[in-house]
Chains A and B, each alone.
Chain A
Amino acid sequence: GQQLNQSPQSMFIQEGEDVSMNCTSSSIFNTWLWYKQEPGEGPVLLIALYKAGELTSNGRLTAQFGITRKDSFLNISASIPSDVGIYFCAGDVTSGTYKYIFGTGTRLKVLA
């Protein structure tokens, strides 16, 4: 079956540093999504990517849809304490229904 490998599993960084995380798949995806989840809450969509090679920004966040359609990257610039949380990637299951599989998440901690 399709699998999403997300790395790194966790990151401890200093406030102000840039962050990079990525997802790779064994299969081709048509859509990549990036979510953030804070403790006790559900995931919140950050960025959606629909086209190979697409580069999209949302404030300090930038995500790219890999050319091979098997990977995606999320970068956070100048991290701040409120960036703390778990970041998930998700890709669509190309079966004609709107199903997404999620990566295992990257846990980000920002040290002030």
Chain B
Amino acid sequence: DAGVIQSPRHEVTEMGQEVTLRCKPISGHNSLFWYRQTMMRGLELLIYFNNNVPIDDSGMPEDRFSAKMPNASFSTLKIQPSEPRDSAVYFCASSFQESDTQYFGPGTRLTVL
């Protein structure tokens, strides 16, 4: 069975550009989580959805970040405009229910020049 799918795997962009990261959760999973991983701050939860509805976005760093989940099989994390300090690995994870084991995707490595 396919796991969590993220695209692109690598993204290099220039400061000020819009970046869109994509995630396809495991089929049948009802909860989806976006994380950011950096050397300085480790792994941080940005936002999570349950049944396509955002439940907690308190980890979203600022208004430049937005996330959507238009349906059960797709979510996006958008950064507009991007800044060098946004450089990190962004992970998407999904779980059957909120309290269940989270399965992580392979991540998107974002570099903002």
Which of the candidate stretches B14-22, B63-71, B74-82, B101-109 sits at the interface with the other chain? B101-109
- Let me know if A45 is at the binding interface, CB within 8 A: yes
Contact B107 A42 (CB under 8 A): yes
Contact B43 A99 (CB under 8 A): no
Contact B106–A40 (Cβ < 8 Å)? yes
Give the contacts of A19-64 with B (CB-CB under 8 A). 40-45, 48
Interface SS majority for chain A: strand
> What 8 new A-B contacts, CB under 8 Å, besides A42-B104, A97-B56?
A40-B106, A42-B93, A42-B105, A43-B104, A48-B101, A99-B56, A102-B42, A102-B43
**A interface residues (Cβ-Cβ under 8 A, vs B):** 40-45, 48, 88, 90, 97-105
Name B's A-contacting residues (CB within 8 A).
4, 31, 42-45, 48, 55-56, 59, 91, 93, 98-99, 101-107
